[in-house]
Amino acid sequence: MAVWGERLAGVRGVLLDISGVLYDSGEGGGVPIAGSVDAVARLKRSQLKVRFCTNESQKSRGELVALLRRLGFDISQEEVTAPAPATCQILKERGLRPHLLIHDGVRSEFDQIDKSSPNCVVMADAGESFSYQNMNKAFQILMELENPVLISLGKGRYYKETSGLMLDVGAYVKALEYACGIEAEVVGKPSPEFFKSALQALGVEAHQAIMIGDDIVGDIGGAQRCGMRALQVRTGKFRPSDEHHPEVKADGYVDNLAEAVDLLLQHADK
Amino acid sequence: MAVWGERLAGVRGVLLDISGVLYDSGEGGGVPIAGSVDAVARLKRSQLKVRFCTNESQKSRGELVALLRRLGFDISQEEVTAPAPATCQILKERGLRPHLLIHDGVRSEFDQIDKSSPNCVVMADAGESFSYQNMNKAFQILMELENPVLISLGKGRYYKETSGLMLDVGAYVKALEYACGIEAEVVGKPSPEFFKSALQALGVEAHQAIMIGDDIVGDIGGAQRCGMRALQVRTGKFRPSDEHHPEVKADGYVDNLAEAVDLLLQHADK
């Protein structure tokens, strides 16, 4: 189809979202999305450069990669852009000492960070740890700071687990923003800085790169605002209404990563 | 002081917020704010009409009144305007069957309401019941509805307990609004309908009534938008920055309810 030839012409690098594109998380770690293990392998055998760009903030990169390898994916830690390491960089640069409202699974990423006398709050997808008590503690710390700083790893509305849709960190960010009368700084998609760091690691220009994700706002809208192209997969948190989103229109919609890779291998870099 | 004479001229009815004005809630029920028990008694002995107007949504009116009477206040259930009974009225009128995200203490108010096959979510200040699991359940129900309806009892940012500031239902409303892409309907202050029903029960016109509260937005701003006057007390959740709020200016600031009543008895209805 000529239309795909035009849409994918000149693509030299691919950024892949992980949750909802490679696999659905859930009980026992999760399950690969049909065709995605093979699709990643085919992509990596091609001339296209590949990098993974995730807002995963419940697990450390090490744990995430170990899980994906168990599920059969060819992936290594160095190929992953994730918000926790990017946040540690910011904390160090600005002399910030965080109170952490995070999942235990990602705590090890902050091992080297000074957490005494907190002067900011860092929040991530804490899952079950988003108890009233933990939220209230973070709220009270922010209210006691003269210049409250709230850093959030992503601001997703929800994601999909095998058991259904799950509230993501963005909902809880909105709660603290409203209660404290402040605005959070977001590290992760759709922040342009985050996409740019992934592009730099990928080693291609924005106009030569394409993002493949299941989040119409965080993945598709965010990548497009950075000058990249973006395809939305109809897996993960995709909902049919996404194809009529009032603000964001993907460069293409595909049933899953396998179809996206079929099209890329046929049309990209031509 | 002539200024208070002008401010309070013609006042014939007084609406009193409860939490942060009469008492601070907390361990063991809470403690009266110094001077408030006597201030309510003096007000009720005066020519002024008195009614209590609260967003309390953790307790039924029966429990709240019983608690306040134990603390020494002269108050009865019939004198209280509260959001739970107002919500039940709305549910019945519109044929809505709620999933309840509420504190167990207020559950009895909904005893007579059909809760089978929910077609809306009603949320109140659930306190510790704002677990991730309970929030996610409410989220999933809303996402499955074709026309999701979210009703919130109040939208306060926080309130003050004896142990410190506590996140209020408004923060959690924002979380679900963002996650679901919807806007909640608020029953309670600062909703004009809610103030009007309190005024009607008080039996005076808006220009003859004054609200006394600790919430610059919910109490003061809300009452003023209905044509009432409003005093902010420097107790409860009051913060010094409230006196320089960018949008709301109270008709007066007083140290506590006792001072407000001193001034009212001296200057009102003159």
Which pLDDT belongs to residue A235? 97
A to B CB pairs, distance under 8 Å: 85
Which pLDDT belongs to residue A270? 58
Q: Hey, how many other C-beta atoms are within 10 angstroms of the C-beta on B133?
A: 11
The band of A59, judged by pLDDT with boundaries at 50, 70 and 90, is very high
DSSP for chain A reads -HHHHHHHTT--EEEE--BTTTEEB-GGG-EEPTTHHHHHHHHHHSSSEEEEE----SS-HHHHHHHHHHTT----GGGEE-HHHHHHHHHHHHT--EEEE--GGGGGGGTTS--SS-SEEEE---GGG--HHHHHHHHHHHHH-SS--EEEE---SEEEETTEEEE-HHHHHHHHHHHHT--PEEESTT-HHHHHHHHHHHTS-GGGEEEEES-IIIIIIHHHHTT-EEEEESSTT--GGGGG-SS---SEEESSHHHHHHHHHHHTT-
Cα B13 to Cα A248: distance, rounded to the nearest angstrom: 53
Which one has a higher pLDDT value, A83 or B163? A83
List chain B residues with pLDDT less than 70: 1, 269-270
Using a CB-CB cut-off of 8 Å, the residues of chain B touching A140 are 164-165
Cα A218 to Cα A224: distance, rounded to the nearest angstrom: 10
Which pLDDT belongs to residue B270? 57
Largest CA distance in chain B: 60
Is A177 within 8 Å of B174 when comparing Cβ atoms? yes
Is A135 within 8 Å of B168 when comparing Cβ atoms? no
Using a CB-CB cut-off of 8 Å, the residues of chain B touching A123 are none
Cα A128 to Cα B136: distance, rounded to the nearest angstrom: 10
In chain A, the residue whose alpha carbon lies closest to the alpha carbon of B168 is A179
Which pLDDT belongs to residue B18? 97
Per DSSP bridges, beta strands A150-153 and B49-53 are unpaired
Which pLDDT belongs to residue B241? 93
Give the one of A129, A157, A178 whose C-beta lies nearest to B170's C-beta: A178
> What number is the average pLDDT over the span A97-114?
97
**Best residue of A178, A180, A247, A248 to probe chain B, by most B CBs closer than 10 Å:** A178
pLDDT tens, position by position, A202-244? 999 999 999 999 999 999 999 999 999 999 999 999 999 999 9
B9: tokens are: 């001229």
Cα B230 to Cα B209: distance, rounded to the nearest angstrom: 8
Question: Nearest to residue A213, comparing CAs of A245, A246, A253?
Answer: A253
What is chain A's alpha carbon radius of gyration, rounded to the nearest angstrom?
18
Using a CB-CB cut-off of 8 Å, the residues of chain B touching A128 are 131-133
Share of chain A above pLDDT 70, in %: 99
Share of chain A above pLDDT 90, in %: 94
Which pLDDT belongs to residue A176? 98
> What number is the average pLDDT over the span A238-262?
97
Which pLDDT belongs to residue A247? 96
Enter the pTM of the model.
0.87
Question: Dihedrals φ, ψ of B182, to 5°?
Answer: -135, 175
Residues constituting chain A: 270
Using a CB-CB cut-off of 8 Å, the residues of chain B touching A175 are 167, 171-172, 174-175
Question: Nearest to residue A142, comparing CAs of A123, A156, A125, A124?
Answer: A123
Is B170 within 8 Å of A177 when comparing Cβ atoms? no
- The separation between CA A268 and the C-alpha centre of its own chain, rounded to angstroms, equals 24
The band of A269, judged by pLDDT with boundaries at 50, 70 and 90, is low
ipTM of the complex: 0.86
Cα B167 to Cα A135: distance, rounded to the nearest angstrom: 8
